[in-house]
């Protein structure tokens, strides 16, 4: 084994992805199916904007794949999170529990409602919200009044929890459902990264009141930009369909809008791309899981890092393959990043904790965010495109 830990990690990654020419991105889209035909059909027929058959086809396809009753396509995942909170009744000056370790869009969407993110810790086992720690924290720091949860310190209502399935790995969602019920808090699943992931045989996004998917260019399937809101509640679904389409009341010619709405409609052109991607999603998942197994074997018993593997009772889409540095080797992270990227292998660290970003430093948070701080320093995402797992 090399005396230089960073060089050894580079060699192992290269042994898995092979000696490919050119730059190997972290996760690039794959267009090898009917994408061109469906997009061309939109152009040829003129149905390129928010009206067209592909939007409905895409929604029905998502419902069939995930097992959810209702999928509402929207322009991106952040818009989906915002709309989800609106229909669940998140109000100005409420607080919404958000993992400190997540992408900034999660917190941004809370502020769109005039509410405040309230940052909570994660756990090493899932990289998601720690249910036991959250329950203990809420027990000590909140009070229930009229079946609503209030922060004892700020006196603000805590109306919702956003639970993210990090890099495609399911959080302990059943335990979080119980915590939310106990403290009268609504549950939104940030499933932006977890299309094709399952918890105890059930697709992520099917546990909370609402869930949100993302179809950004780097996700497991893409519509270029886009997202979807999932729910089993027909009343919520109808309201979401209404407010995400500018709250326009159906009429042959009049423009009647009965409440403040949002222009969050997914264009037909993007939905056409999504329909084609959905057709090959099972093959993407198979290839990505094969790639993950190659990484798992390659890094087995490595003294410096471990490969993050799916937990028992879950099935992950392995959206972004993840290395976690062992505590004695946190200092080699930047050297690994430097060496791998210099060798045309794109790697990157995880996000900076949102609780440390200037727009959010004054927001409420757990005093102990130790696990989130560790994950921030320890994680390296490595190349994860489906084609890398082709046999």
Residue 76: give its domain's CATH number: 3.40.640.10
Question: Tokens standing for 100?
Answer: 């400190």
- One domain, residues 294 and 308: yes
Residues 19 and 45 in one domain: no
User: Are both 106 and 118 inside the same structural domain?
Assistant: yes
3-state secondary structure of 38: helix
325 and 204, same structural domain?
no
CATH number where 341 lies: 3.90.1150.10
| pLDDT at res. 284 | 98
CA 12 – CA 10 distance, rounded (Å) = 5
Q: What is the mean pLDDT of residues 166-183?
A: 98
219 is catalytic: yes
Are 94 and 201 in the same domain? yes
Q: Are residues 303 and 372 in the same domain?
A: yes
Rounded to the nearest integer, the mean pLDDT of the chain is 97
pLDDT in tens, 346-356: 999 999 999 99
pLDDT in tens, 303-342: 999 999 999 999 999 999 999 999 999 999 999 999 999 9
What is the Cα–Cα distance from 172 to 123, expressed in whole angstroms?
10
The pLDDT of 270-287, averaged and rounded, is 98
Residue 248, pLDDT > 60, answer: yes
β-bridge partners, 149: 144, 158
User: Which of 133, 172, 186, 219 is an active site residue?
Assistant: 219
Is the same domain home to 141 and 247? Answer: yes
User: For residue 51, what are the domain limits?
Assistant: 35-279
The domain total for the chain is 2
Across 284-307, average pLDDT: 98
Are 41 and 174 within one domain?
yes
Q: What is the pLDDT of residues 193-225, one digit of tens each?
A: 999 999 999 999 999 999 999 999 999 999 999
**End of a domain among 259, 279, 299?**
279
Q: How far apart are alpha carbons 149 and 142 in whole angstroms?
A: 6
pLDDT of 50 above 90: no
Please report the pLDDT score of residue 384 as a whole number.
98
Euclidean distance between CA atoms 285 and 335, whole angstroms: 31
> Would strands 321-325 and 379-382 be described as parallel, antiparallel, or unpaired?
antiparallel
Each as own residue / partner, the long-range contacts of residues 10-16 (CB below 8 Å, 24 or more positions apart, any chain) are 10/336, 10/339, 10/340, 10/343, 10/345, 12/298, 12/299, 12/302, 13/295, 13/340, 13/345, 13/347, 13/382, 13/383, 14/343, 14/345, 15/298, 16/291, 16/294, 16/295, 16/298, 16/388
Shared domain for 142 and 268, answered yes or no, is yes
369 and 119 Cβ atoms separated by less than 8 Å: yes
% residues pLDDT > 70 (the chain): 99
Distances from the Cα of 87 to the Cα of 90, 178, 242, angstroms: 8, 21, 10
Distance between CA atoms of residues 251 and 335, nearest Å: 61
Residue 2: per-residue pLDDT: 55
Say whether both 18 and 47 belong to one domain. Answer: no
Q: CA torsion sign, 124 to 126 to 127 to 130?
A: negative
391 band by pLDDT with thresholds 50, 70 and 90: confident
Residue 100 and residue 184 share a domain: yes
According to the model, what pLDDT value does residue 332 have? 97
Q: 187 and 263, same structural domain?
A: yes
């Amino acid at each position: 084994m090399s005396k230089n830990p960073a060089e050894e990690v580079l060699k192992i990654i290269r042994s898995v992805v092979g000696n490919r020419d050119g730059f190997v991105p972290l996760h690039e889209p794959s267009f090898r199916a009917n994408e061109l035909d469906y997009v061309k059909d939109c152009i040829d027929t003129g149905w390129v904007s928010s009206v067209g058959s592909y939007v409905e086809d895409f929604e029905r396809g998502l419902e069939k794949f995930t097992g959810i009753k209702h999928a509402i396509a929207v322009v991106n995942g952040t818009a989906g999170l915002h709309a989800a909170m609106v229909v669940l009744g998140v109000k100005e000056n409420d607080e919404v529990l958000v993992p400190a370790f997540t992408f900034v869009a999660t917190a941004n969407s809370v502020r769109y409602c005039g509410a405040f993110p309230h940052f909570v810790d994660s756990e090493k086992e899932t990289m998601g919200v720690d249910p036991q720690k959250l329950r203990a924290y809420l027990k000590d720091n909140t009070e229930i009044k009229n079946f609503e949860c209030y922060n004892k310190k700020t006196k603000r209502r805590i109306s919702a929890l956003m639970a993210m399935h990090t890099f495609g790995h399911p959080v302990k969602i059943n335990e979080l459902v119980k915590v939310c019920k106990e403290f009268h808090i609504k549950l939104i699943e940030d499933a932006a990264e977890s299309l094709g992931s399952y918890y105890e045989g059930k697709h992520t996004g099917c546990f909370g009141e609402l869930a949100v998917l993302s179809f950004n260019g780097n996700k497991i399937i893409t519509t270029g930009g886009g997202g979807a809101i999932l729910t089993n509640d027909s009343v919520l679904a109808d309201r979401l369909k209404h407010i995400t389409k500018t709250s326009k009341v159906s009429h042959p010619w009049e423009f009647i809008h009965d409440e403040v709405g949002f222009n969050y409609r997914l264009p037909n052109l993007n939905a056409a791309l999504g329909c084609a991607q959905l057709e090959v999603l099972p093959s993407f998942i198979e290839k990505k899981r094969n790639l993950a197994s190659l990484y798992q074997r390659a890094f087995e018993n490595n003294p410096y890092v471990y490969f993050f593997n799916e937990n028992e009772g879950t099935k992950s889409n392995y959206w972004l393959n993840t290395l976690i540095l062992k505590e004695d080797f946190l200092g080699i992270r930047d050297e690994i990043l430097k060496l791998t990227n210099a060798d045309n292998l794109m790697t990157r660290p995880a996000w900076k904790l949102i609780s440390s970003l200037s727009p959010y430093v004054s927001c409420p948070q757990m005093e102990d965010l130790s696990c989130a701080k560790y994950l921030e320093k320890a994680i390296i995402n490595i190349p994860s495109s489906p084609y890398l797992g082709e046999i």
